[in-house]
């Protein structure tokens, strides 16, 4: 297992911050007495999912490879919300790690009511330049990681108590997004699991729902897919191509996750909700535009 990652320091994780103020859409205690296990919860979209869950009184476990990242994040989340957050180190590719993490969470909180499969890896690369190991790595993190964590949580808690599994997906496979062979295939497989596990685990009171974000501002995902090098002008241009004329926010995704986890969604299962303002239909998917994004991302 990784300890403090070589060359990292606490300030490396200052990027993700909690919202300075928060106006509630849903009842403030809608997730009271619930516990959520969130892979990838130390950064980006899943950090904000943890924050918004905690603002709704849900206790959380955030887990990823870098212990320091999740520890720093847990501290920020607890300070902002006054709700407990347990930081755990695990690699979703390793079943033993995942089982140990799930055991630790159940020992600590006594329950896991919500699982968010958010851990993922991605980069922009043409298929011709993608190595065998590059493809395998992303499949292992996104697809195998979702399977490994879902199975461990099912075996160790949800099979007897029910719950909600939220799979963070993507729209990349819908139009065969250029230079995203690996991540598109990995997330398409995740969407397939969302349906099969809905069918198989529904009788145990488990709902399985996907959320497929569009381009989300201030995230590693967006940075890696060219957004990091676009500058304000480039990002404005990107936004003009999108139906709602803006990229998404981490909060857009987190509010959907609260809805999905709440009783308001109690008859929703087996479906992947696209939370992208329609972006997948109009965002760039031609060689010229994506070639520019690839060149920009390669410079980062
Ligand atoms: C081509 C690359 C590459 C790149 C890595 N590889 N980066 N190939 N272009 N930019 C190749 C490596 O050369 C290697 O293959 C293989 O991938 C594994 O690389 P490692 O660095 O050894 O892997 P690892 O340390 O396990 O790290 C996994 C990782 C890394 C995915 C490569 O970037 C990571 O940890 N990412 C987590 C954070 C992240 O990606 N966040 C964004 C999620 S956003 P060879 O053949 O050389 O051995 C997201 C958005 C989806 O998913 C949709 C957006 C719209
Ligand atoms: P992010 O901040 O990089 O989040 C990914 C997280 O996964 C990191 O916290 C990372 O932490 C963790 N992780 C990576 N590999 C892991 C492993 N093997 N085991 C355990 N944890 C691992 O990226 P993001 O942009 O917010 O993306 C979050 C989710 O949204 C992902 O599922 C992504 O595919 C999806 N998504 C994002 C966008 C977007 O615009 N950003 C669009 C569509 C979908 P460690 O490095 O500490 O392990």
For the segment 150-190, what is each residue's pLDDT rounded down to a tens digit? 999 999 999 999 999 999 999 999 999 999 999 999 999 99
For 198-243, the pLDDT digits (tens) are 999 999 999 999 999 999 999 999 999 888 888 888 889 999 999 9
Residue 207: inside a domain: yes
Q: Which of 163, 162, 224, 150 is nearest to 193 (CA)?
A: 150
241-285: per-residue pLDDT in tens? 999 999 999 999 999 999 999 999 999 999 999 999 999 999 999
Predicted confidence band of residue 8 (pLDDT cuts 50, 70, 90): low
**pLDDT > 80? residue 14:** no
Mean pLDDT of the residues in the chain: 95
| Residue 12, domain member (yes or no) | no
Q: Does ligand 2 have an atom closer than 6 angstroms to the CB of 68?
A: no
At 227 the pLDDT is 82
pLDDT at 122 over 70: yes
In angstroms, the CA 53 to CA 42 distance is 14
Atom of ligand 2 nearest to the CA of 16: 2
CB 224 less than 6 A from any atom of ligand 1: yes
Specify if 170 maps to a domain. Answer: yes
- What is the atom index within ligand 1 of the atom nearest the CA of 224? 42
pLDDT for res 99 = 98
Residue 197 lies in a domain: yes
Question: How confident is the model at residue 7, as a pLDDT?
Answer: 56
DSSP state letters, 225-272 = TTGGGTHHHHHHHHHHTSTTSS-B-HHHHHHHHHHHHSGGGTT--S-E
Q: Is 45 in the pocket of ligand 2 (CB under 6 A)?
A: yes
Task: Take atom 30 of ligand 1 and give the residue whose Cα is closest.
Answer: 121
Position 9 pLDDT exceeds 70: no
- Residues 68-78 have a mean pLDDT of 98
In the prediction, which pLDDT does 2 show?
A: 33
Considering only CA atoms, which of 201, 186, 203, 171 is closest in space to residue 282?
Answer: 171
If pLDDT is split at 50, 70 and 90, which confidence band does 4 have? very low
* Alpha carbon of 218 to ligand 2 centroid (Å): 13
Q: Is the CB of 60 under 6 A from ligand 2?
A: no
Q: What CATH number has the domain bearing residue 69?
A: 3.40.50.720
Q: Could you tell me if residue 92 is inside a domain? A: yes
153 within domain boundaries: yes
Rounded CA-CA distance 27/21 in Å is 16
Residue 137 in contact with ligand 1 by CB distance below 6 A: yes
Residue 3: per-residue pLDDT: 36
In a domain, 231, yes or no: no
Question: What is residue 10's predicted lDDT score, i.e. its pLDDT?
Answer: 65
Q: Is the CB of 133 under 6 A from ligand 1?
A: yes
Share of the chain above pLDDT 70, in %: 96
Nearest to 295 by CA among 180, 124, 127, 181: 124
Q: 128 CB under 6 A from ligand 1? A: no
Residue nearest to atom 44 of ligand 1 (CA): 221
Distance CA 219, CA 193 (A): 25
Assigned domain for 40 exists: yes
- How many domains does one find in the chain? 1
Say yes or no to pLDDT of 5 above 80: no
pLDDT at 130 over 90: yes
- Least confident range of 106-110, 207-211, 296-300: 296-300
Burial-class residue 262 by CB neighbours within 10 Å (0-12, 13-18, 19+): middle
Q: Kindly give the distance from the C-alpha atom of residue 203 to the centroid of ligand 2, in angstroms, as a whole number.
A: 30
Q: 3-class SS at 111?
A: coil
Domain boundaries, position 93: 30-217+248-276
The larger pLDDT score, comparing residue 14 to residue 33, is at: 33
Distance between CA 66 and CA 41 in Å, rounded? 11
Residue pair 59/109 in contact (Cβ under 8 Å)? The answer is yes
CA 124 to centroid of ligand 1, rounded, Å = 9
22-32 average pLDDT score: 98
101 pLDDT above the threshold of 80: yes
Give the pLDDT band of residue 291 (cuts 50, 70, 90): very high
Q: Is pLDDT of 69 > 90?
A: yes
């Amino acid at each position: 297992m990784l300890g403090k990652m070589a060359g990292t320091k606490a300030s490396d994780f200052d990027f993700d911050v909690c919202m300075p103020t928060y106006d509630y859409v849903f009842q403030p205690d809608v997730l009271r007495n619930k516990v959520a296990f969130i892979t990838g919860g130390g950064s980006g979209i899943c950090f904000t999912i943890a924050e918004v869950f905690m603002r709704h009184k849900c206790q959380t476990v955030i887990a990823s490879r870098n212990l320091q990242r999740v520890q720093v994040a847990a501290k920020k989340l607890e300070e902002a919300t006054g709700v407990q957050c347990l930081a755990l180190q695990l690699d979703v590719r390793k079943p033993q790690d995942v089982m140990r993490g799930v055991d630790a969470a159940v020992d600590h909180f006594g329950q896991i009511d919500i699982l968010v499969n958010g851990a993922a890896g991605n980069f922009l690369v043409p298929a011709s330049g993608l190595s065998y190991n590059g493809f395998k790595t992303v499949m292992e993190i996104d697809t195998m990681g979702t399977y490994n964590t879902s199975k461990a949580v099912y075996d160790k808690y949800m099979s007897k108590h029910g719950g909600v599994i939220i799979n963070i997906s993507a729209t990349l496979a819908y139009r065969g997004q250029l230079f995203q062979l690996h991540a598109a295939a990995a997330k398409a497989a995740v969407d397939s699991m969302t349906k099969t596990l809905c069918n198989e685990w529904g009788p145990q009171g488990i709902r399985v729902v996907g959320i497929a974000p569009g381009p989300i501002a201030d995230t590693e995902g967006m940075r890696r897919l060219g957004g990091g090098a676009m500058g304000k002008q480039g990002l404005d241009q990107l936004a003009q191509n999108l139906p709602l004329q803006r990229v998404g926010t981490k909060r857009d995704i987190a509010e959907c996750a609260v809805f999905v986890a709440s009783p308001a969604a109690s008859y929703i299962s087996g479906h992947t909700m696209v939370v992208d303002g329609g972006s997948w239909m109009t965002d760039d998917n031609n060689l010229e535009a994506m070639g520019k994004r690839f060149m920009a991302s390669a410079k980062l």
